[in-house]
Amino acid sequence: MEINNNLIAVLLILSIGISVFGIAQMVTVMREGITGAATGTGVTNLTVGGATGIRLIRNVTDFGSGSPQTGQLLYIATDADNSQGFDDGTEGNGSANSYGDCATNYPSEDHCAFPFVVENTGNTNPQLNITAANSSTEFILCEGSCAQTPEFKFKGVENETGACISGLQSTYTDVPKSPTESVICDSFNTSTNGDEIRIHFQIGIPDNARQQTFKNTITIEAL
Amino acid sequence: MRRICFLFLFLIIFVLPFRAEALSIAPSPLLEMNFEPNFSTTKYICVTNEEPGEMTFEMLVEGGLKDYISLEKYYVHTKPKGTPGSSVCMNVNITLPEKLEPPGKHITGIFASYLQENVEGFSVRLKVGTPVIVYVPYPGKYVEASLRIENAEVNKTANFVLDVVNRGNESISEMYARIDIYKANSSRVATLTTERKPLASKKSGTLTAKWFVDVLPGEYSADVRIYYDGNFKRIEKNFMVGEPSIKILEVKAEPVKNGTVGKIHVIVKNLWSEGMDGAYINIDFRKKGGLGRVSSAKSSTFSIRPWEEKDVTVYWDTSAAEGPGTYEGNATIYYLNKTGSMIFEIEVIGGFGETEAPLLLVAAVCAVLVIVVFVAARRRRKRGVQKTLKTI
């Protein structure tokens, strides 16, 4: 059987009509109130348990490439205007609060070495810790013995005010080798607008450092 | 020679692909108890993937009691956040040993761990854990305490609440506390004494004291001595005495080019233990030695949390001002029907503003015309020389 356009139009109008009628009936019933529902009081027990949760909002620190400095340990950091070709640091999780070339080129984020940014997504106040698989002397290799002792350090900064309730490690200190851990923040806040911490890194490169890409595993832990 | 070679050595540091990582574990803490020999229990934990992609977690037990805790699974694969399978739950069996030493707090963590491995450069491992906390009693009487201070506001009565736990294996017949309050780096402003009460072994209780706050707002410290059956324990805590007030700490004003919009940073601090909404800043600018005309700029309204220090940006359109020169700014903060002000100076410097722009355009057109005329003249002269040569 062949269905022409007129027939389809009639069926369409008919179906719309039925739908409108149905909705009108429903509204009438709702105005009268729902019948048949039981009434009474009940007690609901609800226990909200604790959950520990963190998010690494930013976990890339890219200093780019550069060269050591003759005769001394070269310090580069995610919160400094770095030299010898290494990218400059920034305080921001995408903000313009930056150093050197990073600030100049913002917001393209070229030439920026970002700190890590960690957010507390749980409803407890965990301790935030850091450790690394290798110590600075194990992953910063030199031609022969190192002319200066290599360094690998971190520090914590509140990315949002009040993010660390107590025990913020606010000056640079060594990232220890696992299983030893260092505390970034003793009590990490859960407050919606105060639950982000930046982790800055500082590296001390000896003047006879070997040509290499540094390799290590950093662990960020919340307990 | 060695030094020169090293100048050409290149180091590549931290090249990591960007990916946000998030996970959670519940409940937390999993268990908190006083030590009982051979105590055994089964608990239930859930690991949740908070990311849009699938993730596989390694489950780890770390700490002094790791040999007494076993997990149902040591690897869990989770589906993306919000989909069935984004949370994986399992049983945790805990059986404590016959003896546990030394006395004190023993923490063992049950972790979900995710490694974002990078062949070149640094890798990042994210570990989120829930603790199993076991307290081994000290011989005799041993107190642990923490202090809470509520309602520390000017002209109000503050409550000092000491949460005390007897971690010893003997009961305390009487305990009380003396609290000395000091202004930061200064003299004592008050001394409080709590009530006296007993505390059974392995039990917790509270000691309280009240203080009518008749001091100025600012930072104070509480030096607490808890006396119990001939012993004492000392703890200290810094705290803030507040009032419903927002203070302007600093105004950062860089020089602004005339005719452009300048950015002024006003640093404010909430001196109250409660948050405030609907605050805003208005700045009136008046040119020094000028006509006395006032131009104004206003920030958007903002909220501020208890004790928060905030950087509020105010944008000032200098096209309505009196041109280059030094301006006096009066920044006023409005909140809770109150105000606070700070005077500062800002420079408006000459620049290519709206008035100079047409002149600049004319100059550019003139420069282009000069270049065109110069090039055309050189070509004509060249052709003239060639014609002369042909003729010769």
A211 lies within 8 A of chain B by CB: yes
Q: Which one of A9-13, B118-122, B288-292, B383-387 scores highest in mean pLDDT?
A: B288-292
A144 lies within 8 A of chain B by CB: no
- Which residues are CB-contacts of B192 (< 8 A; sequence separation ≥ 6)? B160, B178, B179, B181, B209, B210, B211
Note the pLDDT of residue B145.
96
Determine whether the interchain pair A208/B107 forms a contact, defined as Cβ–Cβ distance below 8 Å: no
> What DSSP letter does each residue of B193-206 carry, written as one string?
E---EEE-TT-EEE
Distance (Å, whole) CA B241 – CA B109: 37
A57 lies within 8 A of chain B by CB: yes
- Within 8 A of A61 by CB-CB distance, chain B residues are 13-14, 16, 122
Phi–psi pair at A17, nearest 5 degrees: -60, -45
Residue B242 is classified by DSSP as B
Determine whether the interchain pair B123/A60 forms a contact, defined as Cβ–Cβ distance below 8 Å: no
One CATH from 2.60.120.260, 2.60.40.10, 2.60.40.420, 1.10.260.30 for B23-136: 2.60.40.10
- Within 8 A of A127 by CB-CB distance, chain B residues are none
E strand or H helix that includes residue B391: helix B357-391
To the nearest whole angstrom, how far is the Cα of B45 from the nearest Cα of chain A? 10
Query: What's the mean pLDDT in B242-260?
Result: 90
Note the pLDDT of residue B358.
56
Among candidate residues A160, A163, A165, A182, the one with its CA nearest the CA of residue A173: A182
Give the range among A97-106, A171-180, B275-284, B356-365 with minimum mean pLDDT: B356-365
- Within 8 A of A76 by CB-CB distance, chain B residues are 13
Query: What's the mean pLDDT in B363-371?
Result: 72
Q: Are A61 and B118 in contact (CB under 8 A)?
A: no
Q: Given pLDDT bands bounded at 50, 70 and 90, which one contains residue B362? A: low
To the nearest whole angstrom, how far is the Cα of B35 from the nearest Cα of chain A? 21
The answer to whether B143-241 and B246-349 have equal CATH topology is yes
- Within 8 A of B22 by CB-CB distance, chain A residues are 53-56, 119, 121
The complex's ipTM works out to 0.74
- Within 8 A of B107 by CB-CB distance, chain A residues are 223
Per the prediction, chain B carries an average pLDDT of 87
CATH 2.60.40.10: does it fit domain B246-349? yes
Distance (Å, whole) CA B216 – CA B218: 6
To the nearest whole angstrom, how far is the Cα of B15 from the nearest Cα of chain A? 5
Q: What are the C-alpha distances in Å from B6 to residues A126, A138, A143, A206, B193?
A: 44, 20, 10, 11, 68
A22 lies within 8 A of chain B by CB: no
Query: What's the mean pLDDT in B78-82?
Result: 92
A71 lies within 8 A of chain B by CB: yes
To the nearest whole angstrom, how far is the Cα of A25 from the nearest Cα of chain B? 37
Residue B320 is classified by DSSP as G
- Chain B interface, mutation test: which of A48, A56, A63, A181, most B Cβ atoms within 10 Å? A56
Determine whether the interchain pair B127/A220 forms a contact, defined as Cβ–Cβ distance below 8 Å: yes
- Within 8 A of A179 by CB-CB distance, chain B residues are 62
A52, A68, A70: residue with CB nearest B25:
A52
Determine whether the interchain pair A53/B128 forms a contact, defined as Cβ–Cβ distance below 8 Å: yes
Q: Given pLDDT bands bounded at 50, 70 and 90, which one contains residue B301? A: very high
Determine whether the interchain pair A55/B11 forms a contact, defined as Cβ–Cβ distance below 8 Å: no
B8, B127, B307: residue with CB nearest A219:
B127
- Within 8 A of A68 by CB-CB distance, chain B residues are 6-7, 9, 11
B3, B13, B20: residue with CB nearest A203:
B13
To the nearest whole angstrom, how far is the Cα of A10 from the nearest Cα of chain B? 43
Determine whether the interchain pair A52/B17 forms a contact, defined as Cβ–Cβ distance below 8 Å: no
Phi–psi pair at B314, nearest 5 degrees: -120, 130
Write the pLDDT tens digit of every residue in B129-177. Answer: 999 999 999 999 999 999 999 989 999 999 999 999 999 999 999 999 9
| CB pairs < 8 Å spanning A and B | 182
Note the pLDDT of residue A32.
40
Tens place of pLDDT per residue across chain A (223 aa):
556 777 777 777 777 777 666 655 544 444 444 444 445 556 656 666 789 999 988 887 888 888 999 999 999 999 999 999 898 888 876 566 778 878 777 667 777 888 999 999 999 999 999 999 999 999 999 989 999 999 999 999 999 888 999 999 999 999 999 999 999 999 999 987 889 999 999 999 999 998 888 888 899 999 9
Tokens representing residue A190 in the block: 């859960």
Q: Are B172 and B228 in contact (CB under 8 A)?
A: yes
Q: What are the C-alpha distances in Å from A22 to residues A18, A29, B293, B379?
A: 6, 11, 68, 87
B15, B26, B62: residue with CB nearest A49:
B26
Q: How far apart are the first and last CA of chain B?
A: 64
- Within 8 A of B10 by CB-CB distance, chain A residues are 65-67, 85, 211
Residue spans of the domains in chain B: they are 23-136, 143-241, 246-349
A53 lies within 8 A of chain B by CB: yes
Note the pLDDT of residue A161.
83
- Within 8 A of B6 by CB-CB distance, chain A residues are 67-68, 70, 143, 207-209
What's the burial of B58, exposed, middle or buried (CB within 10 Å: 0-12/13-18/19+)? middle
Q: Given pLDDT bands bounded at 50, 70 and 90, which one contains residue B359? A: low
Q: What angle do CA A35, A38, A40 make, to 5 degrees?
A: 135
- Within 8 A of B123 by CB-CB distance, chain A residues are 216-218
More confidently predicted of B55 and A8: B55
More confidently predicted of A112 and B327: B327
Among chain A residues, the shortest Cα distance to B310 is held by A161
Note the pLDDT of residue A35.
41
- Within 8 A of A53 by CB-CB distance, chain B residues are 22-25, 48, 50, 128
Fold of B143-241: Immunoglobulin-like (2.60.40)
Give yes or no for residue B38 having a pLDDT over 70: yes
